[in-house]
Amino acid sequence: MIWNDEFETLPREALASLQLKRLQNTLERVYSTVPFYRQAFDRAGVKPEQVQSLSDLQRLPFTLKQDMRDNYPYGLFAVPMEEIVRLHASSGTTGKPTVVGYTRQDIDMWSGLMARSFAAAGVGRGDIIHNAYGYGLFTGGLGAHYGAEKLGAAVIPMSGGNTKKQIMIMQDFGSTVLTCTPSYSLYLAEAAAEDGFDIRNFDLKVGILGAEPWSESIREEIEQKLNIKAIDIYGLSEILGPGVAIECIEAQNGLHIWEDHFIAEIIDPQTGEILPDGDEGELVITTITKEGITMIRYRTRDITRLISEPCICGRSHRRLQRMSGRSDDMLIIRGVNVFPSQIESVLMQVEGVEPHYQLIVDREENLDSLEVQVEVTEDIFSDEVRILQGLSDRIRGQIKDMLNISCKVRLVEPKTITRSEGKAQRVIDRRR
């Protein structure tokens, strides 16, 4: 279902002129209200009125996560605090978090985009949304919550954790939609089975899953284990929160980025150059309607490509290919660039291997080492040593073939790899 027919199917030309008009207004506004942007534009020698076409955007400098940290907490806000009605912060793994503020109109816009996103995933009035994204400083919980209410669906504000209760509520309340991270959805299925329930028999029909990178094989696993359609949603707090882009249920192939509110560019993460249409690179987003915090050419660190071909769902907004990793998740092991998602896709090709794995990176005698820990389930377990050793040899060989790095594969007992109730911790880098 299309929530906002007028804007979601706007012809490309009209969409482009809307983007330009909104971009020009945005640049004028932040140039006068945010000293950081005024200085950055001046250094680049560009005045807002010189941006006469969408390609002129390239003349402006990038904004980095570090810029937000340097202006902690409110330095990048584009409106006085009187206009701000909500604050969120990103989960800063090191040091200070990054803070974002929303005006009342921002919250309205966000709720609208989340409602659009839910509708694109086939969710509507009458649905019961089991919202297991964390409520709090993290944007996931409240972002999905407000969108669900705007849509007119019934929302259960579960938040994360307390898995046993989640399962009981999900079953008793007849939840039809699950919103959480992909890894948590699998954890829920596993925990339900442990309590003697088959989650496939619950009323769930759709999972709207995001906030961490996942692969097509994990999607199959989730769809099969939960008996749902698994929809990929994308967002980041610096830009908005959840609801920046989402897959439509019709195609489940690429995430429509809401281009009436965001301008997407793909750059070479090394050189910063704009890449040709359809090439894979780092996603850069400019917000063109957001008031509280406005991001001009924000480097998301997410690696994807833009799909310009029309989609069968009828929406005119271009699609982002499923994120293949983050440029800052990238591990450099003995000089080779490795994304955890690449190792995951090797593991998924091995019959019976559960998506439960962990990568341990260490340094031994000044040499990087990679250990891939894989859980041994009943499907792959054998009473014969040579069969299990053959399995780990096969995994090691395929990783070597694909990534050209040697690793050690260690088979571990099920559930020895820490289950996360939020984002899965796939990598332990002991070199840091």
Partner 1 sequence: MTVQQISIFIENSAGRLAEATSALGAAGVNIRALSLAETSDFGILRLIVDRTDLAKEVLTKGGFTVDKTDVVAIQVPDRPMGLGTILNVLDVEGIAVEYLYAFIERCGDHAVIIFRFDNCFQAIAALTAQGIEILSAKEVSEM
Report the first-to-last Cα separation within the chain, whole angstroms: 47
Considering beta carbons, is residue 238 or 375 the nearer one to partner 1?
A: 375
∠ at Cα 30 (25, 32), nearest 5°? 100
Shortest Cβ distance from residue 187 to partner 1 (Å)?
A: 15
Considering beta carbons, is residue 233 or 374 the nearer one to partner 1?
A: 374
Considering beta carbons, is residue 56 or 190 the nearer one to partner 1?
A: 190
What amino acid occupies position 63? T
Examine residue 242 and say whether the peptide bond preceding it is cis (omega within 30 degrees of 0). no
391-430 mask for partner 1 (x: CB under 8 A)? Answer: -------------------xxxxxxx--------------
Shortest Cβ distance from residue 416 to partner 1 (Å)?
A: 7
Shortest Cβ distance from residue 29 to partner 1 (Å)?
A: 58
Shortest Cβ distance from residue 411 to partner 1 (Å)?
A: 6
Shortest Cβ distance from residue 163 to partner 1 (Å)?
A: 16
CB atoms within 10 A of CB 4: 15
Shortest Cβ distance from residue 412 to partner 1 (Å)?
A: 6
Considering beta carbons, is residue 82 or 379 the nearer one to partner 1?
A: 379
| Residue whose C-alpha is closest to residue 127's, from 200, 177, 185, 171 | 177
The two three-digit tokens of residue 7, written as one number: 């804007």
Query: Got the DSSP string for 199-228?
Result: GGGSS--EEEEESS---HHHHHHHHHHHTS
395 torsion bin: left (phi>0), alpha (psi -120 to 50), beta (else): alpha
With residue 351 as reference, give the H or E element that holds it. Answer: none
322-361 mask for partner 1 (x: CB under 8 A)? Answer: ----------------------------------------
Beta-ladder partners of 177: 129, 206
Residues in contact with partner 1, counted by CB under 8 A, come to a total of 17
Considering beta carbons, is residue 9 or 392 the nearer one to partner 1?
A: 392
Shortest Cβ distance from residue 382 to partner 1 (Å)?
A: 7
Considering beta carbons, is residue 6 or 384 the nearer one to partner 1?
A: 384
Considering beta carbons, is residue 47 or 410 the nearer one to partner 1?
A: 410
Length of the chain: 432
| Residue whose C-alpha is closest to residue 79's, from 124, 14, 33, 38 | 33
Shortest Cβ distance from residue 223 to partner 1 (Å)?
A: 25
List binders of partner 1 among 367-396 (CB under 8 A): 376-378, 381-385, 388-389
Considering beta carbons, is residue 172 or 378 the nearer one to partner 1?
A: 378
Helix residue spans in 334-413 (DSSP H): 340-348, 385-403
334 torsion bin: left (phi>0), alpha (psi -120 to 50), beta (else): left
Q: Does 21 bind partner 1 (CB under 8 A)?
A: no
Site for partner 1, rule CB under 8 A: 376-378, 381-385, 388-389, 410-416
